[in-house]
Amino acid sequence: MKHYYYKSGDLWAEDVRLTDILSRVGTPCYVYSEAAIIKQWQAFDSALAHHPHKICYAVKANSNLAVLNTLAQLGSGFDIVSGGELARVIAAKGKPNQVVFSGVGKQALEIIQALKYGIFCFNIESAAELQLINQLAEHHNLLAPIAFRINPDVDPKSHPYISTGLKENKFGIDFAQAIPLYQDAKKLKHIEVKGITFHIGSQLTSLSPFIDATKRILTLIEQLKSVGINLQYLDVGGGLGIRYQDETPPSPKAYIDALLALCIPPELTLILEPGRSIVGDAGILITQVLLLKQAGNKQFCIVDCAMNDLLRPTLYQAWQNIIPLKEQALKTLQYDVVGPVCESGDFLGLSRRLAIEPGDYLAITEAGAYGFVMSSNYNSRPRAPEVMIKGEKFKLIRERETIQELFAKEYLFND
């Protein structure tokens, strides 16, 4: 279900006509529907009503403070991958004791900060990291709650850049090393062994990789039990896909039901780390058509947003829908929708049928996840503002960067 729709030829989200936002904030700009975020979070939460659980939203998908605050108010936990993300969670009134800290290269200062805030758990990705966390906890006379991220070694049949559950990649710990590592951890004085975690990839659109992975990890949990290591929770990571084009991902409920059908023991708290499936549908990126250009027999639609604003099409050859803010009776042509950045790879969408004129506005949909957060200042382009809609109200939740800010921390050598 999409939260945006046309009414009398105009594109709306919740109870706001999107062109009404543009007169205030300009383009390009990101717009998020709070209701869409809440609906997705609650879909996970209600599907898990009868099993002890914790939903730890993956902050990296969209880390705007207003988005995090919306989720914190629902009682969400958070999955972070840096000290910066922990600081954001705290600034957004999230609870540190509901935070799991993932990531393959945590720095000592980040670990100390997380220990002092008393986070829920460190998801450890190597033997070296276990030793480091134990040493730091000892030095500060604290106890570090931990889980190991194990690679279940199932192929998520997804894009190579975003397949993370296989044996040979930088993430996680080899399945075969799991038991000895848990035994080592149990002996460490400043480590508290709490759980187990995996995360096999992103934008997965079928249940089978999740089911295969969970089954393998449940077997491992049994084996650990037989050597005297009893875990309190199973963290199944994130990765549930959304519909960008014609994918048919399972709903949060279908996904949860499939997991629960594996007979997860009631004493094992289930933790989830959804990112994209919470915020992906909730966001759109609005851009203005600068000009139309013909080159050979190709038509280009040149817009004021670019790969620096939305990297997914360039980085993953990802397809996101592009629709006009106003339905118009114009001739439909096929365009490559491209940005002004000096790279041939700078496109938002190829071969799109659009009825548009220069000056029109377009919405790039499903841009709530891995959109703004991956934006950069390449070509000295200020990053776009972000707006949140709530019913008939909308609010600027991040201002457009100014040109001045772009080089405010740069200095001439000879000054």
Ligand X SMILES: *Cc1c(COP(=O)(O)O)cnc(C)c1O
Binding site for ligand X (CB under 6 A): 58, 60-61, 79, 102, 199, 202, 237-240, 273-277, 369
What residue type is assigned to position 288 of the chain?
Q
Q: How far is the CB of 78 from ligand X (least distance, A)?
A: 11
Catalytically annotated residue among 121, 263, 301, 342: 342
DSSP letters, 49-82, are TTS-EEEEEEGGG---HHHHHHHHHHT-EEEESS
Q: How far is the CB of 388 from ligand X (least distance, A)?
A: 19
In the complex with ligand X, which residue's Cβ is closer, 239 or 313?
A: 239
In the complex with ligand X, which residue's Cβ is closer, 237 or 283?
A: 237
Neighbouring C-beta atoms of residue 56, cutoff 10 Å: 26
- Chain centre distance of CA 373: 9
In the complex with ligand X, which residue's Cβ is closer, 27 or 375?
A: 375
In the complex with ligand X, which residue's Cβ is closer, 12 or 120?
A: 120
**Cis before 28? omega within 30:** yes
| φ, ψ for residue 40, nearest 5 deg | -70, -45
What residue type is assigned to position 373 of the chain?
V
- Cβ burial 369-398 (10 Å sphere, 16+ → b, else e): bbbbebbeeeeebbbbbbbbbbeeebeebb
The answer to whether the CB of 56 falls within 8 A of the CB of 76 is yes
| Residues 6 or more apart in contact with residue 186 via CB below 8 angstroms | 193, 229
Can you say whether the dihedral through the CA atoms of 277, 210, 221, 179 is positive or negative?
negative
DSSP letters, 221-269, are HHHHHHTT---SEEE----B---SSS--PPPHHHHHHHHHTT---TTSE
* Catalytic (active site) residue 56: no
Three-state DSSP at 97 gives: helix
Q: How far is the CB of 267 from ligand X (least distance, A)?
A: 23
Instruction: Give which of 337, 367, 331, 330 is closest to 352, Cα–Cα.
Output: 337
- Strand 386-390, strand 29-33: pairing: parallel
Neighbouring C-beta atoms of residue 165, cutoff 10 Å: 28
In the complex with ligand X, which residue's Cβ is closer, 96 or 371?
A: 371
Q: How far is the CB of 57 from ligand X (least distance, A)?
A: 9
Q: How far is the CB of 49 from ligand X (least distance, A)?
A: 21
Q: How far is the CB of 249 from ligand X (least distance, A)?
A: 11
In the complex with ligand X, which residue's Cβ is closer, 202 or 314?
A: 202
Q: How far is the CB of 162 from ligand X (least distance, A)?
A: 8
DSSP letters, 380-395, are T-PPPPEEEEETTEEE
In the complex with ligand X, which residue's Cβ is closer, 58 or 354?
A: 58
Q: How far is the CB of 277 from ligand X (least distance, A)?
A: 6
In the complex with ligand X, which residue's Cβ is closer, 60 or 352?
A: 60
**Residue 392 Ramachandran class (φ > 0 left, ψ -120 to 50 alpha, else beta):** alpha
User: Could you give the CA distance from residue 385 to residue 405 in angstroms, rounded to a whole number?
Assistant: 14
Report, as residue numbers or ranges, the catalytic residues. 342
